[in-house]
Amino acid sequence: MKKRKFGLGLSLVLAAGTILGACGASEKTGDSGNNEDTFSVAMVTDIGGVDDKSFNQSAWEGLQAFGAEHGLEKGIGGYEYLQSQGDQDYAPNLNKLAREKFDVIYGIGFLMQDAVNEIAQQQPESNFAIVDAVVDQPNVASITFKEHEGSFLVGVIAGLTTKTNKIGFVGGVEIPLIEKFETGFVAGVKAVNPNANVDVQYSGAFDKPEAGQSIANGMYSAGVDIIYHASGATGNGVFKEAKDLKVQDPERELYVIGVDKDQAPEGDVEINGEMKNVTLTSMVKRVDIAVQDLANKTKNGEFPGGELIEYGLDANGVSVAETQDNVSKEALDAVAEWTEKIKSGEITVPQTRDELASFSVN
């Protein structure tokens, strides 16, 4: 499988696509076999759902942006999503969209790897894409991210912000993908604050807010003042616990670091008529940009079937959230410095625990 990296060209492609869209509808040039002068895109969510305030929601926002860019309407012939209630829904949902002749069909999340592989072979005339996994089929584009790089940067912020030197990480399912979030984050914390301790725990699910809240309760009770979650909808429970504790003690400094989207809105809490916010920052993973970018490429006859497309700091595929009200200037300056070190190759951020064990910034 080929591996492709996108940098400045990503922004230029999106800008060009917007200009072309403003000039009027263009004929479809994809390889889907549908001869209508339209272009349609669709996605299948994993069990987190389209409104998970995280990964799936970001992907759907990318499809909505593509639809707006090209004057499409929601539904068959435009842009659409199917929500999965369980893993048994993945293959049927993908197959349904293929039969409806959508030009690009996205499987959102690594949980859909087997289903995308299966249906891509059954529907060789359809174009598929999978996010956060690799499927080696000629009609599948695989989209991945350098989550460890973005996680490193929010780790820098956490390490320079903590008052207790006790920091938490809450993961969803313990798999190599989430290990990238974990190890990058721990490396960032340790790079700027070797005395800080990071408590790593996994909930075992991406759709269990109650599990996230329970883990967060234990961490905050033990003196942790910042928790980074990479757990999808499970992270909603982490936010709930932080907000509940803030209501109980408005002077207490405790924070959550969000994931995938700018989760500042999830941290809003009203206390005695005054708005507070427990979101320190978020590691933004631009699934929306990646989804929109691939749709535009396919519409222009450039579907990267059989290729691995990787989005990192150099392509603005991962970043620190724009909402930075709770982040100090010192931390933001440090983020800028470490960003350049990563982009230049001066440091290589670890993405496994073995790499973390030998990681050094000296």
Between CA 148 and CA 353 the distance in angstroms is: 11
| DSSP codes of every residue in 101-151 | T-SEEEEESGGGHHHHHHHHHH-TTSEEEEESS----TTEEEEEE-HHHHH
Assign 1 a pLDDT band (cuts: 50, 70, 90): low
Q: What is the pLDDT of residue 22?
A: 38
- How far are the Cα atoms of 12, 23, 41, 79, 339 from residue 16, in angstroms, in the given order? 6, 11, 19, 20, 27
pLDDT one-digit tens code per residue, 116-137: 999 999 999 999 999 999 999 9
Could you identify the residue written with the tokens 């539904």? 75
**Residue 38 pLDDT greater than 90, yes or no:** no
Whole-prediction pTM: 0.82
Assign 315 a pLDDT band (cuts: 50, 70, 90): confident
Q: Where are the alpha helices (DSSP H) in the chain?
A: 8-22, 55-69, 90-99, 113-122, 147-161, 176-192, 209-221, 235-248, 287-299, 329-344, 353-357
Q: What is the pLDDT of residue 207?
A: 87
Mean pLDDT of the 246-250 span: 97
Residue 232 · residue 48 · CB < 8 Å: yes
Assign 37 a pLDDT band (cuts: 50, 70, 90): low
Q: What is the pLDDT of residue 196?
A: 98
Q: Which domains does the chain have, with CATH numbers?
A: 2-145+286-315 (3.40.50.2300), 148-284+321-351 (3.40.50.2300)
Q: What is the pLDDT of residue 345?
A: 94
Mean pLDDT of the 2-26 span: 41
Mean pLDDT of the 100-105 span: 98
Mean pLDDT of the 334-339 span: 98
Work out the mean pLDDT of the chain and round it to a whole number.
90
